[in-house]
Amino acid sequence: HLVESGGGLVQAGGSLRLSCAASGRTFSCNAMAWFRQAPGKEREFVSIIWSRGNEVYADSVKGRFTISRDNAKNTVYLQMNSLKPEDTAVYYCTCALGQIQRSIYNQYEYEYWGQGTQVTVSS
C-alpha cells in the first residue's frame, strides 16, 4: 500500500513537502499522482508524474506545486510553495500500474491509494 507523510499546519505563503512511498509489497507504478479532497467537496486531481518524468498539474496549483518521483524507491513527492487557504484539504497519493485509459482526472483510473495526509493553510 501507499503511505503519505509531510502534511501539517502552515500559514498562507508557506511551504510543505509531501512524500508517498509504496510499502508492504513490491509493485511498479507507471504513473503516480496526487489528489486532494476538501470538506464538503469532491476529490480533485492535483498532479501526476509518469515513470519517464512527464508531469501534469491542475491549473489551480500550476507554478506553485512541483511533483517528482524516485523510481528506484517507488516514491513520489509534492513540493507545495506559496500555499493558500484554499489548498486546505486531505491529500492522497495514488498509483496507476498501467496506462491511463481515459482521463488522468478520474480517480477510478488508479489502483492503489494512500490513507491521506491533512494539509491546513491558515490565513
pLDDT value, residue 51: 87
Q: What is the pLDDT of residues 50-73, one digit of tens each?
A: 988 899 999 999 999 999 998 888
Q: What is the mean pLDDT of the chain?
A: 93
Instruction: Look at residue 30 and give its three-state secondary structure.
Output: coil
* Mean pLDDT on 34-55: 95
How many angstroms separate the CA atoms of 55 and 72, rounded?
18
Query: In this structure, how many other beta carbons lie within 10 angstroms of the beta carbon of residue 93?
Result: 30
Phi, psi of 85 (to 5 degrees): -55, -35
Q: Which has the higher per-residue pLDDT, 112 or 28?
A: 112
* Mean pLDDT on 22-50: 89
How many angstroms separate the CA atoms of 115 and 5, rounded?
10
